[in-house]
Chain A
């Protein structure tokens, strides 16, 4: 019953403060490292922009055609860009041994991984959300659909980082594992792809999109609750 004891309560608060502290430290470290080596997070973003801008050249520059296929194009490209960035999520820390120190640390490993996943989203998912209105407009999406596109991206890109982390932690330590990662992760991404792109398509015809948004939100909550723990387990197994 140490929760009722004043000193016990202080102890619990101290532990909480430590947990918040190590989370922020890990997040700040990952962001700092990425900003000092910008190609690590700029490459997937460049891929996102370049791949989308190629579609009008290959298919048709006509507004009607492009706006019809825009939700699919943007969402598929977003997924591939995230997939491209996932390889680096744990690889560098694995190669230099920091991951070992994280695993044996007495801090909660899921918490440390959640910090890394948050950094990954801030560097990949968030820029994609911010770039999407520009690319949506380039593909002749109307302003309302662009709003929905941003909303679906905002709801679902964190899930992409979270689910991706499970795959990335399973393949850590395996050389040339890009293809394996796609095989592991893309099937798990498909529900997100289906609901998100259908939400944008439906919005173009002024149909209700609440069902899709609820699905995306529930996937986000599920992956937020499960992914750090599953990734931690997978990492421990991979490191053995």
Chain B
């Protein structure tokens, strides 16, 4: 069974310690919700898990591959606050490039993913012309293509309407049922099975 192990993580911003000696592990099929007030370092923790920033001390590893190694990076999908879309490219081009970066040669799956997330008819629309919720959906469509076992989602429900939230919850549940790991932060109530909560 695959396991993501976080061991004795310390994170500091400026002079203040955001969290110290944080340890937890999460096995395949589990969903972990990180909860906490604004400024409680939820995003910082996700960034450390994604390999975007490094902790003061401590280690993160998945199947004995440390964060930052090519094997670990291949196993994660990270969605941050920013849309990760270029305004000059259309939805299909944006999503195609994103999945290339994540190592999936999506091809035809890009169109199917856009339809699945509810953006039928928007395939050739420039990202500049989309609303915040639609932009969010384009990036979330990656979840229909991506084969990474670990999903790190920072506030994935922001800007989504109730339909979008339902599609996303269903996709996360499906990922967990097929043995994937999902770590997410959200302030909204969500309908996810097999979910644990970690309070920071």
Contact = CB atoms under 8 A, between A and B. Distances in A.
A100 B80 contact: yes
A98 B84 CA distance: 5
Contact of B52 (A29, A36, A92, A239): A239
A36 B88 contact: yes
B84 A105 contact: no
B82 A96 contact: yes
Contacts of B87: 96
Contacts of B93: 29, 32
A18 B104 CA distance: 10
**In terms of DSSP, what is the predominant structure of the interface of chain B?**
loop
Given A33-B88, A96-B87, A240 B54 contact: yes
B51 interface: yes
A64 interface: no
A189 B86 CA distance: 31
A2 to B, nearest CB: 16
Interface class of chain A by DSSP? helix
A135 to B, nearest CB: 30
Contacts of B81: 97
Interface string A106-130: 1100001000000000000000000
Nearest to A95: B82
Contact of A103 (B52, B71, B82, B86): B52
B70 interface: yes
Interface string A44-68: 0000000000000000000000000
Contact of A107 (B76, B85, B98, B103): B103
A18 B50 CA distance: 22
A221 interface: no
A32 B87 CA distance: 12
Interface of B: 50-54, 70-71, 73-74, 76, 78, 80-89, 93, 97-98, 100-103, 105
5 contacts: A96-B82, A104-B50, A104-B78, A106-B73, A240-B52
